[in-house]
Structure 1
Amino acid sequence: MTYRLLRLILSLIAYVALRPQVSGLHNVPRRGPVILASNHLSFVDSILIPLVVPRHVSFIAKAEYFTGRGIKGRISKWFFTTMGNIPVDRTDPRAGQRSLEDALEVLDGGGAFGIYPEGTRSRDGLLREGRTGVAWLALAGHAPVVPVALVGTDKVQPVGKRFPRPYRGVQIQFGAPIDPARQLTAGVKPAQARRELTEQVMTSIQRMSGQERAPR
């Protein structure tokens, strides 16, 4: 109930301030495990995607959002916990693997998980090479990957800015699901299967977002 109320309030604010253009939502399965793999331009990406998708989407969030002190810390912990985000300690040498294991639990429970294959926000607008964690998840969780392309969120809250601002040029596009079954049955080596699947995802994101690919 708390999540639904928070989502409703944030959705109203987002649609009034941003009027995002959303397309391709029919590509997101209404039930069952699914991975939403998106380009990453701004902090608000992890808020906007769950607001427009008609199901609960979990994202990884840095542990500091859950451990702050005082009123601000309590509000931050309540917000990210209510949104269903999963804390990850970035100082842990195994943080990357632990986050994938947590994500796999979400998929095993039939949930939706959001991930940024680039690994971090783009500071220059270029689309970085995808890391193969998204493919590992898809193959291990037998979950389709829905590529997501965000446009204009860097204008809402550029990297380094503390607060968002109104901007009416935001676009969110959901591409056709990519089924990992081909890699599972093609008989290719696991590392090759992960790289091929990751490249499929990144190519789809690039086509929708129009971003230039960064040099490898």
Structure 2
Amino acid sequence: MWYWLFKYVFLGPVLWVLGRPTVEGTENIPAEGGAILASNHQAVLDSFFLPMRVSRRITFLAKSEYFTGTGVKGAFQRWFFSVAGQVPIDRTGADAAQDALNAGLRVLSQGQLLGIYPEGTRSPDGRLYKGKTGLARMALESGVKVIPVAMIGTAKVNPIGSRLWRPAKVTVRIGEPIDFSRFEGMGGNRFVERAVTDEVMYKLMKLSGQEYVDIYAATLKKAATTGSAPTAVPEAALAPATDVTRMPDTRAS
């Protein structure tokens, strides 16, 4: 009940006024059954604008820091993100990747919609960064389809580091579901997982119009704090995965 009150009564009207959101492709969301909504990540509000115009509940995997604050502010954050349909994931522990995978698979096994951000963190500069293969592991183990979602304009409403939201036009583009059944039984193969992830990122690049950078956003953020300079692979390295034996990327993710 709290989720729907939150969506339609509390936050929804505020976001509607601020973002005047246009949603394209809602027909690509299945009426029932599990599916992965894989989105680019521009702002914290991405997790709130998308559910506004989707009739089904969407569960997002969120960093545990949103749920561990103290005092009144911490209590409010825990309530806020819980009723918004977010599940906490500890990204710092030795088993962080497996914990996230297990949490996502639980949601999908219940026939629900799972929202994830393949980049793993918000884009630091508006570009689209290399996707992490946890997305592929979930898709291959669950057998569900992956629906690419492009969030456009949310960074203007909720810029990184800003305390106040600002009015700006938001567009949500929902792409056609991607069926990876051709890779059935190949879960755990790092080349297949990279191929699946890169295909999703290619679709996101086309939907969003973002420039693609073939490094992890987290790597860039870390380099910014250490003064090192990460090397990006040209955009041409990203292509739809139709034949895994022809994929140019042979690095472990």
Q: Could you tell me which residue of structure 2 aligns to residue 160 of structure 1?
A: 161
Task: Determine helix, strand or coil for the equivalent of 2:43.
Answer: coil
Q: Could you tell me which residue of structure 2 aligns to residue 170 of structure 1?
A: 170
Distance 1:189 1:51 in 2: 35
Task: For residues 139-163 of structure 1, give each alpha carbon's deviation from its aligned partner in whole angstroms, at most 9, with x where no partner exists.
Answer: 1111100000111111111111123
| Superposition deviation, residue 52 in structure 1 | 2.2
**Runs of 4+ residues deviating >4 angstroms:** none
The correspondence of residues 27-46 of structure 1 with structure 2, limited to 5 A, is: 27-46=28-47
Whether the 8 Å contact between 2:141 and 2:187 is mirrored in structure 1 is: no
Task: Determine helix, strand or coil for the equivalent of 2:129.
Answer: coil
Structure 1: gaps (5+ residues): none
TM-score w.r.t. the length of structure 2 is 0.80
Task: For residues 72-128 of structure 1, give each alpha carbon's deviation from its aligned partner in whole angstroms, at most 9, with x where no partner exists.
Answer: 121111111112211122331221221111011000111111111111111111111
Distance 1:158 1:211 in 2: 17
Distance 1:108 1:21 in 2: 30
Q: Could you tell me which residue of structure 1 aligns to residue 86 of structure 2?
A: 85
Larger Rg over CA atoms: 2
Distance 1:88 1:135 in 2: 18
Identity in percent: 44
Task: Determine helix, strand or coil for the equivalent of 1:117.
Answer: coil
Q: Could you tell me which residue of structure 2 aligns to residue 55 of structure 1?
A: 56
The correspondence of residues 1-216 of structure 1 with structure 2, limited to 5 A, is: 1-9=1-9, 10-167=11-168, 169-184=169-184, 190-214=189-213, 215-216=232-233
TM-score w.r.t. the length of structure 1 is 0.93
Whether the 8 Å contact between 2:187 and 2:193 is mirrored in structure 1 is: no
| Superposition deviation, residue 67 in structure 1 | 2.3
Instruction: State the one-letter code of the partner of 2:97.
Output: G
| Superposition deviation, residue 189 in structure 1 | 7.8
Answer 1 or 2: higher relative contact order, Cα 8 Å, separation at least 6: 1
Instruction: State the one-letter code of the partner of 2:25.
Output: G
Structure 2: gaps (5+ residues): 214-231, 234-253
